[in-house]
Structure formats: structure tokens, C-alpha cells
């Protein structure tokens, strides 16, 4: 698949424009309701599906199916992301009106990190064919682990990233609006919102270790791998606000995701030495596994409504009072003062 530079630049421009539109639409902190989340989810899904249709039209059915297979894998794995986000945001007691901003920054970081991973993965596959065995092994091992640990969930208190952050970064005990850092008594300190962002970024890197090899199993085209990831990740925030209170109903989805990872791992091994599984078959298998796991989940939990995620022993973070916020010093004040003194 020959993709000219201008096409890459055009796609990146669309992504940046959509991010800017999203940021502008949510420039004021507010609680995002189900209706607003559903509208934005529809927008992001339409954008991702529309791009896939464009690929299908311009590059042919095979490349179109490869894109949709990768997009479906990433969208499905995103539901697991949503549950992890719900646990993290609940543990840190992040006010709902501040959640969009930290998730926006988290998705922005995810796009950057995944772009780096995809570029590195493409170079490795082109240079060392045996890397496909490594990717396949990662997928198979991860799939088996997910089945064994299907009832286990992230415990933020045991997060190494959080422990290291608390050890080396001074942190306030209160949220000061959507600020990530504040200056208190002449000292820069992180707000809990920055700790949340760090934990979210680290967990996404862990998820990328699974999702990136999974997409390389259905397409070895870097352009399709990146765009499928990007358009799936862009809708994560809206998906979170739409599904966060419903994740308890997807009881069999984790098993389904594990089976998908095992399937694409087997497909990758077959592709190396035995036989190439057509993209049509691969896409059909992935869609069938995900569809059945979702259907069985909803059937098993029918009648259950929206239920917020609860976390035992949530950290005692609070929202700063107006008086506390008014007493904050400008974050850049000292730098400006030192600059002026040097000029003198």
C-alpha cells in the first residue's frame, strides 16, 4: 500500500482539527451527561467508519477490511480501558466536571505513544521477521492471562506508577479546578489531577503492548495500523462517559477479548510459516466473538440499570475551597521575577 506523504499529513490535520473542536466544545468544565456522550460517540464512530469506507473505496476491499478489523479490535479493547479509567477516576475521587480534561490529555498522550510504538513495530517487522513470533507469543500469553484473571481488576493503590509519583513528586491533597500543578507557599506541587493523568498514561501504555501487536496481526500496513488506532482512541472519552456506569453489564466481554487476542496470535503464527488467513475470515471471526460476548453479557445482566463504579478505600482527595484557590501563587511568577532581576 503506497501512501504519499500528503495523505499522512492530511490525516494528521483531520485528527488535530477534531481534537481542537472537541477541546473548544468542552472548554468549560461541566458534567457530561449520557445524551452528550452519545452524540459525541456517534460523531467519533461515524468519523472512524467513514474513514474506513474511504480506504475501501480508494485502496480496495482487502485494505478496507484490514482497517475495519484493526478498528474493531481497538474499539473492543477500549471497553476494558473504560473500566480501568472508571476505577482510577473513582479512586482519586475526580469531580465529574474535571474528568473530560484529564481524559482529553490522556488520549492526546496515547496518540503520541502509540504512534511511536507503531513506528518502532513497523521498523522491527521490516528488519527482523522473527519479531512476528514475539508479537504472536505476547498475544497468546496475554489472552490466556486475561481468561485466568477475568474477574480481577486494577488496584490503583498497588500501581507502581502511582507509588513512584508520590515518592518523587510533592502532591496537594485537593483539586484546584482543572490545574495540573499549583504553587503553594512558594513551592510547586502537583494536584491529584496530574497523578490521575500519569496513571492513565501508564495504563494505556500497558494496553498498547497488547493492542498494537493485535492490529499488526490483521494488517502490516503502518498507515492502516495508525489510523485504526487513532480513530478508535479518539472516541474513548465519549465512550467512557457513555459506558462507565454500564461496565458491570459486560461480564463476558473480557473473555471475548481474550479469545480475540488468542485468535489473532494464532493467525499471526499461521501467517509466518503455514498459511495466510484471508482478512474477510479474520474480520468475521473477530466480529462474531465480540458480538457473542456482548450479547451473552447483556442477556445475563438484563434488568440491571446504570451503576457507578465503586472502589474500596478511595483516596481522600477533595475539591479546594474558593479561599484556598484564591491564595494560590502564580505558577510562573518566580521565573519572571528571576528574569527581571537578571535584566537589572
Please tell me the predicted confidence (pLDDT) of residue 288: 93
Model confidence at 53: pLDDT above 90: yes
Task: Kindly state the cell numbers that stand for 185.
Answer: 507557599
CA torsion sign for 71, 74, 76, 78 is negative
Name the more confident of 325 and 193.
193
pTM of the model: 0.84
Judge whether 89 and 196 are in contact, CB under 8 Å.
yes
Q: What is the arithmetic mean of pLDDT over 110-117?
A: 87
324 vs 313: CA distance, rounded Å: 26
Does the pLDDT of residue 325 top 80, yes or no? no
Convert the pLDDT of each residue in 65-74 to its tens digit: 999 999 998 8
CA distance 79 to 81: 5
Paired strand residues for 183 = 188, 329
Grid coordinates belonging to 151: 474477574
Backbone angles phi, psi at 255, to 5 degrees: -65, -40
- φ and ψ of 251, to 5 deg: -70, -25
What is the DSSP-derived secondary structure letter of residue 329?
Answer: B
Specify the pLDDT at position 142: 87
Amino acid at each position: 500500500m503506497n501512501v504519499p506523504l500528503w495523505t499522512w499529513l492530511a490525516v494528521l490535520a483531520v485528527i488535530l482539527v477534531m481534537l481542537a473542536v472537541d477541546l473548544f466544545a468542552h472548554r468549560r468544565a461541566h458534567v457530561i451527561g449520557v445524551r452528550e456522550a452519545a452524540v459525541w460517540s456517534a460523531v467519533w464512530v461515524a468519523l472512524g467508519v467513514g474513514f474506513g469506507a474511504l480506504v475501501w473505496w480508494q485502496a480496495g476491499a482487502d485494505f478496507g477490511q484490514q482497517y475495519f478489523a484493526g478498528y474493531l479490535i481497538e474499539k473492543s479493547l477500549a471497553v476494558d480501558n473504560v473500566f480501568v479509567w472508571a476505577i482510577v477516576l473513582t479512586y482519586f475521587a475526580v469531580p465529574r466536571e474535571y474528568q473530560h480534561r484529564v481524559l482529553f490529555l490522556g488520549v492526546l498522550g496515547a496518540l503520541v505513544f502509540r504512534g511511536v510504538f507503531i513506528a518502532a513495530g513497523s521498523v522491527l517487522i521490516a528488519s527482523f521477521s522473527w519479531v512476528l513470533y514475539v508479537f504472536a507469543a505476547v498475544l497468546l500469553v496475554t489472552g490466556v492471562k486475561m481468561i485466568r484473571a477475568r474477574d480481577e481488576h486494577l488496584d490503583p493503590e498497588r500501581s507502581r506508577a502511582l507509588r513512584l509519583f508520590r515518592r518523587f513528586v510533592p502532591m496537594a491533597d485537593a483539586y484546584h479546578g482543572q490545574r495540573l500543578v499549583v504553587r503553594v507557599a512558594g513551592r510547586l506541587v502537583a494536584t491529584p489531577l496530574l497523578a490521575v493523568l500519569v496513571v492513565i498514561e501508564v495504563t494505556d501504555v500497558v494496553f498498547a503492548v497488547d493492542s498494537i501487536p493485535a492490529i499488526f496481526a490483521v494488517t502490516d500496513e503502518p498507515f492502516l495500523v495508525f489510523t485504526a488506532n487513532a480513530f478508535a482512541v479518539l472516541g474513548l472519552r465519549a465512550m467512557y462517559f457513555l459506558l462507565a456506569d454500564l461496565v458491570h453489564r459486560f461480564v463476558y466481554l473480557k473473555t471475548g477479548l481474550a479469545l480475540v487476542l488468542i485468535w489473532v496470535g494464532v493467525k499471526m503464527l499461521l501467517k509466518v510459516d503455514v498459511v495466510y488467513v484471508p482478512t474477510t475470515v479474520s474480520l468475521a471471526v473477530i466480529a462474531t466473538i465480540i458480538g457473542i460476548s456482548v450479547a451473552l453479557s447483556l442477556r445475563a445482566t438484563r434488568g440491571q440499570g446504570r451503576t457507578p463504579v465503586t472502589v474500596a478505600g478511595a483516596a481522600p482527595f477533595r475539591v479546594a475551597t474558593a479561599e484556598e484557590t484564591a491564595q494560590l501563587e502564580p505558577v510562573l511568577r518566580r521565573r519572571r521575577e528571576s528574569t527581571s532581576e537578571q535584566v537589572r
